Chains A and B, each alone.
Chain A
Amino acid sequence: MPPARKVIDMATKASRSAARIMMAPAVVLLLGWMLVPLTMTVWFSFRTYLPLRGGDQGFAGFQNYARFLTSSAFWPSVYTTLLIVGGVLVITVCLGVLLAILLDQPIWGQGVVRILVIAPFFVMPTVSALVWKNMFMDPVNGLFAHLFKFFGAQPVVWLTDAALPSIILIVSWQWLPFATLILLTAIQSLDSEQLEAAEMDGAPALKRFWFIALPHLGRAITVVILIQTIFLLSIFAEIFVTTQGAFDTRTLTYLIFQRITDSQNIGLGSAGGVYAIILANIVAVFLMRIVGKNLDA
C-alpha cells in the first residue's frame, strides 16, 4: 500500500483547518448522539422513576445501582452476554476460515455458491429468529423434530433444553456470511507464490495453513471480531422472539429491557444501562488494544 502519511508533510495549514471543518459535522453529531441520551440515562439512574406510579419520585442516590448489582439476575446476565458474544465469535471465525478456504478453491459455479452463502446476512433478525424458532426448532412441527423422528430419536426441545446454544446457532447463522466474506477476501490476497514455494518444499497442507495462511488472516480476523462484537453486544430481537430471556438466555441488554418495560422502573433500568455502558467500554478497551496493534495501517 502506498504510504498515505506522506501527504501529511504536504498538508498546508489551510487544508488542516479545512479538514477540521469537514470533520466537525460528524463529530458534533456523534457527540450529541452519545451525550444527550447518556446524560438523560445517568440522570434517570439517580431518580426513583416509576411511570406507573406517577413518574419521578425524587432523588434515589445510588440505590438503583446497588439494587441492580445485587439482584440475583445481574451476574448471570453478564455471563450470558459474554457466552453469546464469545460463542458466536468462535463459531463464525472458525467456520468462516474453513468456508473461506473452501470457496477459494477453484470450483464450478463459484458465483452462485457465494450468493447462497451470503444470503443469511440479508435476513432481518426478527425474521430469522421466527423462522428458526417455528419452522426448525419447534419440538412438534419443526424440521429438526422431523429429522430426529426419522432417525428414531426423541426430538430435542431446542429452545428449552438447549436454549443458549440454539440462540448462538441462530445468531451465528446470521453472521457467518459476514465473517466468511472478509476472510475470503483476505485469503484471495494471499501471495500464491509463497504458498506454492512451500508446497514444493513438501510442507503438508496443515502446516502451510498454520504457518502461512493463518498469520496472514490475523488482521481480517481482527476486523471480524471488532465489528461483530459491536453488533453482538446488543442483540435483542433473537432473544425477544425466541425465549424472552427464559432458560438462562437473559443477556444484560435483555435484563435492562425487562426492568424498563416489564417492571416499568426507569431508574433501575437506567442504572443497568450505565452498567451496560461500562461493560461495553471494558470490552471496547480490550478490543481496541488488539485492534490498535493489528489495525495499524
Chain B
Amino acid sequence: MSFKRSLLNTAVGIGFAAGLASVTAAETITIATVNNGDMIRMQGYTNQFTAETGIDVEWVTLEENVLRQRVTTDITTKGGQFDIMTIGMYETPIWGAQGWLVPLDDLSAEYDVADILPAMAGGLSYEGTLYAAPFYGESSMIMYRTDLMEAAGLEMPDAPTWEYIGQAARAMTDRDNEIYGICLRGKAGWGENMAFLTATSNAFGARWFDEEWNAQFDSEAWANTLNFYVDLLNEAGPPGASNNGFNENLSLFQQGKCGMWIDATVAASFVTNPNDSAVADKVGFALAPDNGLGPRSNWLWAWALAIPAGTNNEAEAKQFIEWATGKAYIELVAANEGWANVPPGARTSLYENPNYQAVPFAKMTLDSILSANPLNPTVDPVPYVGVQFAAIPEFSGIATEVGQEFSAALAGQQTVEAALAKAQAITTDAMEAAGY
C-alpha cells in the first residue's frame, strides 16, 4: 500500500531533515528571482556560470507579488535566506539607505560599471553608491498593430498625444471580432495599474504629493487622468480590463486581440517573437503619449540583482552578478537566441552595437528610457523621486490600496469621483500614520 510506504519514507525523511537541513555547501548561492521571461532564460544558462566558477546556484523563482513579500520579510528581519535578491528601482534606494544591501562599488574593471545607462545607475543608487546591478531596464512605450492602424486609415506618429491615441483606439476597436483598440493595465497593485496611472498622470500635470507631502488626489489633474483612462478602456478596451496586468495584456496582444498596448519596453521582444506571438510581424512602436505639458507617460524601471548585507557568500554573489549583468552574458544570449532576445535597457554599449541597432525596437526603447526623468517627473514640483512611484517606504502599501479603488472605478463599481475621494482619504490617513 502506497500509504505505508510513504510513512516509511517519512520516517527516513525526518532523519534526513534533521541532519541535512542546516548544512549548506560552501560554494552554493541562493537567488530569489521573479518568473519573468528573461529571468527564466538566465536560469537555463546557469550551468555555464557553474562550469566557469565552480559555484552552484539555487534558484527560488516566484511570481512577482509573492517574491516581493518574501524578500521584504527576509530583508527587514535579516533572515539571511538569500545571497542575491531580484529587486527593482523602488526598493533599492530605500533598502540601500537602511544599510541592508552590500554596496556594489568594487566591481571589476572588465565589468565596466560606467557602461550602465546613467538613468538606470541613478535609479539603483543611494547617495551616489550603486546598490543593485540592472539585469534589464525598461521604460514604457506604445506597441501597436501596423495592419490594424492601416485598416483604420491611420498612421502612428513617433510621439503621439493622448488625444490621438484615444481616437486611434476607438477607430480600431471591433468587438465582434474580439479586437480591442487599446489594452492597458487595470489590475490593482502599485506595480500594476498604479505604475501605469502614475506615469500617465505625469503627462496630465498631476502629482502624488505637493512639496509639503499633502496628497493631491483632489486635484483636477487627477480627475482628468482617471476620467480619460476609464472612458478610454470602457469604450475601446478588452472585457475585464480591471483584472489585466502586464502578463494578461501580453497574452492578449500576442493573441492579436489588442490594437495598441502601452506597457513595458521589454515586452517588445515577446510580441515580436514568432514562437510566442501570432502578430510578430505586424507590430510597430512609438513613444508613450503626452499632453503637450512636457512629461510623457512613460516610466522607468529596472529589475536588478542586489546582495543583502550579512550574507556569507558575498564574494560568490558578486561573481554571479558580474556574470549575469555583464557584457559577456549579453553576447552569450545573442549567440544562442538572437540579438532581439538579449536583456535590454541596462548598458550603453548594447545600444552602440550595430547588431543590436538592427533590432526594430532598439531605438524606441532607448529613446523611451532616455526621456524618463525620475528626479523631475512631474509638471509641478514634487518632494519625491521616481516616475511611476514615490520612493518612500509607505508608497507600495498606499498605492496598492489606491489601485484597488481605481480598479473598482474602471470596473464601474464606483464613480471616478468616489474613487478619487477614497484615494485622497487613504493616502492622507497612511501618511499621517507614518508621521509626515
Contacts and interface: CB of A to CB of B under 8 A. Distances in A.
In the complex, A touching B (Cβ < 8 A): yes
Interface of A: 50-55, 67, 71-73, 138-140, 154-155, 157, 159-161, 240, 243-248, 250, 258-259, 261-265, 268
A246 B178 contact: no
B240 A157 contact: yes
A244 B189 contact: yes
Given A72-B425, A157-B239, A247-B411, A258 B72 contact: no
B239 A140 contact: yes
A265 B187 CA distance: 24
Contacts of A73: 401
14 contacts: A52-B393, A54-B98, A140-B257, A154-B239, A160-B242, A243-B243, A244-B189, A246-B187, A246-B242, A247-B408, A261-B69, A262-B397, A264-B394, A265-B433
B98 A268 contact: no
Contact of B404 (A50, A138, A246, A264): A246
Given A157-B411, A264-B393, A245 B404 contact: yes
B334 interface: no
A244 to B, nearest CB: 6
Contact of A67 (B77, B94, B433): B433
A245 B405 CA distance: 11
Given A140-B178, A244-B187, 13 more contacts: A53-B393, A139-B240, A157-B240, A160-B240, A243-B243, A246-B404, A247-B408, A247-B411, A247-B413, A258-B401, A262-B396, A263-B397, A264-B397
Interface string B146-189: 00000000000000000000000000000000100000000111
Size range of the chain B interface in the assembly = 35 or more
Nearest to B193: A246
B240 A264 contact: no
Contact of B76 (A157, A161, A264, A268): A264
Given A261-B69, A265-B397, A72 B422 contact: yes
A270 B65 CA distance: 21
Contacts of A159: 240, 243
Contacts of A243: 188, 243
Nearest to B189: A244
B398 interface: yes
Interface string B277-292: 0000000000000000
B72 A261 contact: yes
B407 interface: yes
Contacts of B433: 67, 265, 268
B385 to A, nearest CB: 16
A263 B61 CA distance: 23
B252 A259 contact: no
A50 B394 CA distance: 10
Contacts of B104: none
A51 B76 contact: yes
A130 to B, nearest CB: 10
Nearest to B188: A246
Interface of B: 65, 69, 72-73, 76-77, 94, 98, 178, 187-190, 238-240, 242-243, 252, 257, 393-394, 396-398, 400-401, 403-404, 407-408, 411, 413, 422, 425-426, 429-430, 433-434
Contacts of A245: 188, 404
Contacts of B242: 157, 160, 246-247
A52 B243 contact: no
A149 B411 CA distance: 21
B394 A263 contact: yes
A55 B100 CA distance: 13
Interface centre among B76, B240, B404 (most CB of A within 10 A): B240
A55 to B, nearest CB: 8
B407 A247 contact: yes
B393 A258 contact: no
Contacts of B397: 258-259, 262-265
A51 B239 CA distance: 39
A246 B240 CA distance: 13
B65 A244 contact: yes
Interface centre among B396, B404, B429 (most CB of A within 10 A): B404
Contacts of B76: 51-52, 55, 264
B75 to A, nearest CB: 9
A159 B190 CA distance: 19
A170 to B, nearest CB: 15
Contacts of A262: 190, 396-397, 400-401
Contacts of A155: 239
Given A50-B393, A160-B411, A140 B238 contact: yes
Interface centre among A72, A159, A264 (most CB of B within 10 A): A264
B69 A140 contact: no
Contacts of A51: 76-77
A263 B239 contact: no
Interface centre among B178, B190, B242, B252 (most CB of A within 10 A): B242
B398 to A, nearest CB: 7
A88 B82 CA distance: 39
A246 B408 contact: yes
Contacts of A268: 433
Contacts of A250: 404
Contacts of A263: 394, 396-398, 430
Nearest to A55: B76
What 5 A-B pairs are tightest by C-beta distance, nearest first?
Answer: A263-B397, A52-B393, A51-B76, A139-B240, A157-B240
A26 to B, nearest CB: 19
Nearest to A73: B401
Contacts of B403: 246
A271 B434 CA distance: 16
A132 B192 CA distance: 22
A51 B72 CA distance: 9
Contacts of B98: 52, 54
B434 A50 contact: yes
Nearest to A70: B429
Contacts of A161: 411
Contacts of B425: 72
